[in-house]
Amino acid sequence: MIYNSIIETIGNTPMIRLNKLAKDIKGEVLVKVEYFNPGNSMKDRMALKMVEDAEKAGLLKPGGTIIEGTSGNTGMGLALAAVAKGYKCIFTMADKQSKEKIDILKAVGAEVIVCPTNVTPDDPRSYYSVAKKLNRDIPNSFYPNQYDNMSNSAAHYETTGPEIWGDTDGKITHYAAGVGTGGSMCGTAKFLKEQNPEIVTVGIDTYGSVFKKYKETGIFDEKEIYPYLTEGIGEDILPKNVNFDVIDHFVKVTDKDAAVMTRRLAREEGLFVGWSCGSAVHGALEYAKENLKEGDTMVIILPDHGTRYLGKVYNDDWMRNHGFLEDKNFSTARDIIAQRPANYQLIAVNKSDSVKAAIALMNRASVSQIPVVDGEEVVGSLTDTKLLSKIIESPELKDGKVEEIMEPSMQFVALDSTLDVLSSMIEKEKAVLVRDSNEKIHIITKHDILEVFTK
């Protein structure tokens, strides 16, 4: 068959049976391999749909510029559509994304602006905010906003869902996918549940994301938000494309489990896929072990290709430095706090306390840094070096309140963060904070990490 352009080849990706990885699972486990799309990811589907819907609505005109915040794959899909249709592209990306993703986007003619990861979505430096500002400033530009643009879900409702239903002859009983923008999970799930309401849908989330707790409690808990490494799933916002009504269950997967499974997919199944694919398969198989029965058919979406991650999960040095290789026994934040007494209490100062009182507390406790709280929420921090320099410069500050002199809060990290990750974060910043399984807050300092090596 001869196609008029590359975008006509999007969709109709193959379904492949997992053999070795699912050998102990009752029922059948299939994966839909989306790297067969021309841009090597499932985002090609929704990117083309967003562009074509914008054209129909008059939002995207000839010679226009497409501006989007992306983790890389949506950008590639938009770039292919732009090449075929004659548009320019500018993409903003968080600095945790792989260099390969940035280079690939540049290779297809896009301009890429890299923004910091560890800022809030409404911070003017975030990749969300920078994209919106560019859209305001550049004439004849279009900001697709994959998070809230319902063409995202519609693309999967119209294509991915029907393909899965047809390829399984309607025998699918379980559908699992990572949840980021929510389009592939929810658009597909909506179609499948319309065909058979009994189909069980499983969303895969990551630690550091808000989705699972929000689904189970209805609470948007900012305590759930902290930095994580896995790209493409999880969020610190609630995109409009995430329809919690069509997601029956959520399973959270750690960065390490996702990375290890990604490599196993390549070595044991010949599927050279991306990091979030490992998340999807690990989480789906964990669910399947307890819930699938003979005669069931589970379909898992594998979103993208391994070439995006050659410098990360497929790089032994990178994996080893993050404690993700199985041949090294790394302690974690969980191990550190497990050694603490049951009556452990975080030493902290209230933001309304006087600076004098804070200094006295730090002296009594013999600590060089201390979190600042407002009720149960951590809102800032104090460190002795910066505190001293500020008071020397302005002695009157010692008579003021802590909130007038405090620094930004220490970062929260995942319970399963390894010593490598903890030490690199502490080296760049100050101490870090972690919540245990009972939501109690702990502080981890350089001293805590050094103590591990002396035992």
| Catalytic machinery residues | 43
| CA separation for the pair 243, 186 (Å, rounded) | 6
Query: Which two tokens mark 304?
Result: 């993208």
Alpha carbon distance 439, 442 (integer Å):
9
Q: Is there a contact between 265 and 271 (Cβ–Cβ < 8 Å)?
A: yes
Check the CA dihedral 303-232-144-203 and report its sign.
Answer: positive
What is the distance between the alpha carbons of residues 114 and 116, in angstroms, rounded to a whole number? 7
Dihedral angle of Cα 282, 127, 238, 164, to the nearest 10 degrees: -50
Token pair for 189: 């799930």
- 27 contacts 293 by C-beta, under 8 angstroms: yes
What is the C-alpha to C-alpha distance for residues 324 and 341, in angstroms, rounded to an integer?
28
Q: How far is CA 157 from CA 153, 167, 179, 321, 352, in A?
A: 6, 15, 15, 41, 52
| Gyration radius (Cα) of the chain, Å | 24
Contacts 24+ apart (CB under 8 A), 103-109: 104/72, 104/76, 104/307, 104/308, 105/72, 105/75, 105/76, 105/79, 108/76, 108/79, 108/80, 108/83, 109/79, 109/82, 109/83
The DSSP 8-state label assigned to residue 223 in this structure reads: G
- Residue 122, token pair as written in the block: 């409404």
Candidates 189, 207, 181; CA nearest to 73 is 181
Q: Are 207 and 416 in contact (CB under 8 A)?
A: yes
